[in-house]
A = this chain, B = another copy of it.
Amino acid sequence: MAAPEIDRLIQVLSRLPGLGPRSARRAALSLIKRKESALLPLIDALQSAADHVRTCSICGNLDGTDPCGICRDERRDGAILCVVADVADLWALERTAAYKGHYHVLGGVLSALDGIGPEQLNLGSLFRRIEAGGVKEVVLALGATVDGQTTAHFLSDRLQPFGVTVSRLAHGVPVGGELDYLDDGTLIQALQARQSV
């Protein structure tokens, strides 16, 4: 249909999460039409990410340096370790600016369906970090999904021998949520974990 260069660009773009074939066509066209203001800056941004971004050897975060900025930040509290499934979850927590401890990125959650077992996750380095001492509390910030909660149970079992406090994020009514629209599971959790006012 179009030039092979355009077809290939559409094909590569359509593999990005959130872009289907139609939006990949729109994106490709918009890039080609705005070569100076969109296409070349995107090449530049991708190249610089490819050249500089690396995985932190301590926590598994992505950053321009190894160890990452969070692991090197001495104002952060090394006694609390927040375990997240993915770098995107770490970013979400960082956006809140409400957490000032360290992180550990698992790189996924246990999933029987996807064939992800403990050996596929970044667990060895987590246990080594806790063994090395200094960590008093581990916060399991995993999704409230079946796989996320399975992983949280597995981890709290495995963390028992280390004698650290293990906590998890609170479950309940999301801020702005209306009771009428909430699922039963969330309402049950919110009732059971009710707090005195």
On A, residues with C-beta under 8 Å from B are 1-6, 8-9, 11-13, 15-19, 23, 25-33, 35, 38-43, 45-53, 62-65, 69, 86-88, 91, 94-95
17 contacts between A and B (CB under 8 A): A1-B95, A3-B53, A3-B63, A5-B45, A5-B52, A6-B49, A6-B62, A9-B45, A9-B49, A17-B23, A17-B26, A25-B91, A29-B86, A31-B46, A32-B62, A43-B43, A43-B46
Chain A binding site: helix, strand, loop or mixed by DSSP?
Answer: helix
Q: Are A1 and B43 in contact (CB under 8 A)?
A: no
Q: Within 8 Å CB of A6, what residues of B?
A: 49, 53, 62-64
Count of this chain's copies in the oligomeric assembly = 2
